[in-house]
Amino acid sequence: MQEDNIKVISRCRPLNQREIQTGAHSIIYCNKNLAQVSVKLPDRKEQTSEGQIEGEQTRSFQFDAVYGEDATNQELFNESFRPIVQTVVEGQNGCIFAYGQTGAGKTFTMSGNGTQPGCMPSSFNYIFEYISQQPSTVSFSIKASYIEIYNECITDLISQQTDLRIRQKPEQAIYIENLSEHSCGTKEDLQKILEKGYQNQCIKITQMGQCSARSHTMFIIKLEKTEVVNGEKVCKLSTLKMIDLAGSERPEISRFKEPMMINKSLASLYVVVSKLASQAPHIPYRDSQLTRLMQDALDGNSKTVLMALISPVSQNYEEILSTLRFADQVKKIPNQPLVKVESKQLAANQECPEQK
Ligand SMILES: Nc1ncnc2c1ncn2[C@@H]1O[C@H](COP(=O)(O)OP(=O)(O)OP(=O)(O)O)[C@@H](O)[C@H]1O
Q: What is the mean pLDDT of residues 113-136?
A: 95
**Ligand 1 mean position, distance from CA 309 (Å):** 9
- Residue 4 DSSP symbol: P
Q: pLDDT digit string (tens) for 345-355?
A: 666 566 666 55
Q: Is 107 annotated as a binding residue?
A: yes
Q: Is the pLDDT of residue 254 over 60?
A: no
> Is the CB–ligand 1 distance for residue 103 below 6 Å?
yes
**Ligand 1 mean position, distance from CA 108 (Å):** 5
- Residue 122 DSSP symbol: H
Model pLDDT, residue 146? 98
Higher confidence at residue 172 or residue 261? 172
ipTM: 0.97
Q: What is the mean pLDDT of residues 291-311?
A: 94
Provide the residue type at 331 as one letter: K
Q: Is the pLDDT of residue 211 over 80?
A: no
Q: pLDDT digit string (tens) for 270-281?
A: 999 999 999 999
Non-local CB neighbours of 297 within 8 Å, separated by 6+ positions = 93, 95, 97, 241, 304
Q: Is 105 annotated as a binding residue?
A: yes
> Is the CB–ligand 1 distance for residue 107 below 6 Å?
yes
Higher confidence at residue 210 or residue 313? 313
Name the residue of 13, 119, 148 whose CB sits within 8 Å of the most ligand 1 atoms, as the mutation to test its pocket: 13
Q: Is the pLDDT of residue 54 over 60?
A: no
Q: How deeply is 49 buried, as exposed, middle or buried, from its count of CB atoms within 10 A (0-12, 13-18, 19+)? A: exposed
Non-local CB neighbours of 48 within 8 Å, separated by 6+ positions = 317, 318, 321
Work out the number of other CB atoms within 10 angstroms of the CB of residue 313: 20
Q: Is the pLDDT of residue 188 over 50?
A: yes
According to DSSP, the β-strands at 6-12 and 65-67 are: parallel
User: Can you give the length of the chain in residues?
Assistant: 356
Model pLDDT, residue 214? 80
If residue 326 lies in a helix (H) or strand (E), which one and from where to where? helix 317-331
Q: How confident is the model at residue 257 (pLDDT cuts 50, 70, 90)?
A: very low
Non-local CB neighbours of 291 within 8 Å, separated by 6+ positions = 265, 268, 269, 272, 284, 285
Q: How confident is the model at residue 259 (pLDDT cuts 50, 70, 90)?
A: very low
Domains of the chain: 6-169+176-339 (3.40.850.10)
Non-local CB neighbours of 280 within 8 Å, separated by 6+ positions = none
Higher confidence at residue 29 or residue 48? 29
